[in-house]
Amino acid sequence: MIESIISFINKLIYVPDSGMVHPGLPAGWVAFVFFSMVVIALRYTFFAYSSSENVNSFHYPIFNKIIKRIVTRPWILISLRLFAAIVFLVVIYAGLFGTPIPEKNIATVLTWTIWWSGVVISIFFVGSAWCAICPWDAIATWLVRRKLWKRGNKTSSLNLRVPKILRSVWPALLMFVGLTWLELGVGVTVSPYATALMALLMVVLATISLAIYERKAFCRYFCAIGRTIGVYSTIAPIALRPVNEKTCADCKTLECYHGSLDSGIDNTTNAKGLANIEPCPTHLVMGSLTQNTYCTSCGACSMSCPHENVSWQIRGVADEVIHASRTTTLRGRVDEAWFILGLVSLTIFHGITMMPYWEGAIQNFAYTIGDSGQLLTSFSAGMLVSMLIPIILFVIAIKLTQQLIKTKEEYKRIFSAFALSILPLAFTYHIAHNLTHLVRESAGFWNVVFNPFGINALPLGMHELHMRHMNPLVADNIIFAIQGLLIIFGFWLALRIARQRLYQIENSKNSNNFALIPILVFIAIISFADLWLLMQPMVMRM
């Protein structure tokens, strides 16, 4: 029987006629993941549920003391930001003036193979720490504030309040869709020049936003990368939190929110914290902070706090998102729900475009509708359909759930409440997909580092491509194991959150387990789609 299952799974794997591709997940691992998902689904559908699961958090006094000393020393953060900014400027120069060969130019290799893949994977371990050293924000801040780290002058920005229509993550979602269209449709990933222009655009947008609006509106509302990192970091096992919650509860001055001023200029007292520190760029109060979503880990709160009561803390993996699903029953925001749904759709679409048959399918469609040139119309249509399918399925699942539980709650509130349950599906597949790029396409990276502009460089020959394909940085079996376990973990976490959401909405210990079926089916469809994409051979990006 097992041999028959393996044989059936192998028939689902597309075998390209030619071309250099990355191998997909073997049938054995696919079968293991599938049966694991079946067991998990049965457990959450047919067995009694209890909401008394504990939230684990870990407090290590020695660890907190060391970290606290680090996060209250501005020179450490400044050094990291300077380094990131220098590397960023090298990328800009290389993209504009270096070789157009993408695999030989540090602009494309570092941006798309190392940076973006590495950032998504690193979120699992360090949360939103990348935002703390983001070169876009750092350069914009230095240009507008004209100071390395201290509070800028009041006249350095217009400090206008962000219009109400923009005070959401809809702008970030639209930017994410636009960047994806440029990345995959226009082909920015294989053009050093276009990569440099896109990077410059992000700096320009961050600078204009900082010069016009109060605090850092770009980071809070507009930046697609920052909002993606923020949402994903709710699953990370690390967070910036109060050392002692009572200290925050008793605080009257709230330097973490307002920042700190020199006592000679203002009545603000800052016995232990540093003076002239910027306020929280995303309007957060440390004492009431429960989620990583909008924290950029900038260090302002930790440096300004007079009680030195802010530090990084370790907690269980995904404890925050699980805890949030228990304590914020129906308080989810519609814009955040749509952003999560957009992440699910766009991550799947990224995987589809890496399939060997994608280019041929788009070309055939373009021929049918008379599209020519860069085939942007055909690509846009394919992108739209790929995004709409998960959205339509989720809308239907929530509508069916509403009918089964016979609740009086508004549809959009149930929509927002269950959106958090699908976040792990996007995050785990995003890591699994990017892992392949990182370990298989970063071979030869140091050669590019020593010749970042690709002077006298030639495109990779077939032998070099073959060696890169056959010799990843990590053994194939390890890659496959990590990818398989990620899909299982995402499926389990999604169902766990969905079950808690359902329990809260029904508000009954005798909740109807079968009301979970619509959202379970949606989670299963997305998980199987992710699994199927990982099974297929994937075209090398460069």
- Which residue, 272, 297, 319, sits at the end of a domain? 319
Q: What gap in Å lies between CA 253 and CA 277, rounded to an integer? A: 14
Nearest Cα to Cα of residue 30 among 526, 528, 537, 538: 528
Same domain, 301 and 272: yes
Does the residue 36 lie in any domain? yes
Same domain, 313 and 338: no
Same domain assignment for residues 285 and 259: yes
Please say whether the beta carbons of 108 and 94 come within 8 A: no
Q: What single DSSP character describes residue 407? A: -
As a whole-number percent, the residues of the chain with pLDDT over 70 amount to: 84
Please identify, among 293, 319, 345, the residue that sits at the C-terminal boundary of a domain: 319
In this structure, of 94-108, 125-139, 430-444, the range with the lowest mean pLDDT score is: 430-444
Average pLDDT over residues 196-200: 96
Handedness of CA 367, 371, 372, 375 (dihedral sign): negative
How much is the pLDDT for 22? 75
The answer to whether the beta carbons of residues 9 and 535 sit under 8 Å apart is yes
What pLDDT band is residue 509 in, cutting at 50, 70 and 90? Answer: very low
Q: How far apart are CA 99 and CA 191, in angstroms?
A: 10
Distance CA 533, CA 44 (A): 25
Per-residue pLDDT band at 52 (split at 50, 70, 90): very low
Residue 196 included in any domain = no
Q: Which pair of tokens denotes residue 226? A: 């920052």
| Confidence at residue 441, expressed as pLDDT on a 0 to 100 scale | 82
Rounded CA-CA distance 268/256 in Å is 12
Q: Are 109 and 446 in contact (CB under 8 A)?
A: no
Total count of residues recorded for the chain: 542
Distance between CA atoms of residues 246 and 309, nearest Å: 10
- Same domain for 533 and 422, yes or no, is yes
**Same-domain check for residues 250 and 339:** no
The pLDDT of residue 203 is 96
At residue 269 the predicted structure's pLDDT band, cuts being 50, 70 and 90, is very low
Confidence of residue 176 (pLDDT cuts 50, 70, 90): very high
Side-chain half-sphere of 336: how many Cα atoms within 13 Å?
Answer: 21
Using the 3D structure, point to which of 289, 319, 349 is the last residue of a domain.
319
pLDDT over 90 at 315, yes or no: no
Considering the domain boundaries, does residue 162 fall inside one?
no
Does residue 81 lie within any of the structural domains?
no
Mark whether 296 and 422 lie in a shared domain.
no
Is 255 in the same domain as 399?
Answer: no
427 lies in some domain? yes
What is Dmax (Cα atoms) for the chain?
80
Inside any domain, residue 89: no
Same domain, 254 and 387: no
> d(Cα 380, Cα 374) in Å, to the nearest integer?
11
Cα angle vertex 214, ends 209, 217, to 5°? Answer: 45
Whether the per-residue pLDDT at 479 is higher than 70: the answer is yes
Which amino acid type is present at position 313? Q
Residue 363 lies in a domain: yes
pLDDT at residue number 188:
92
Range of the domain at 494: 22-47+332-448+461-539
The verdict on 405 and 355 lying in the same domain is yes
d(CA 162, CA 216): 10
Domain-located, residue 432: yes
Asked if pLDDT for residue 371 goes beyond 70, the answer is: yes
Is residue 332 scored above 80 in pLDDT?
A: no
In angstroms, rounded to a whole number, what is the distance separating the alpha carbons of residues 201 and 14? 38
Do 269 and 396 share a domain, yes or no? no
346 & 261 share domain: no
User: pTM to 2 decimals?
Assistant: 0.90
Residues 486 and 362 in one domain: yes
Q: How many domains does the chain have?
A: 2
Please check whether residue 259 is in contact with residue 304, taking contact to mean a CB–CB distance below 8 angstroms. Answer: yes
Read off the pLDDT band of 153 (50, 70, 90): confident
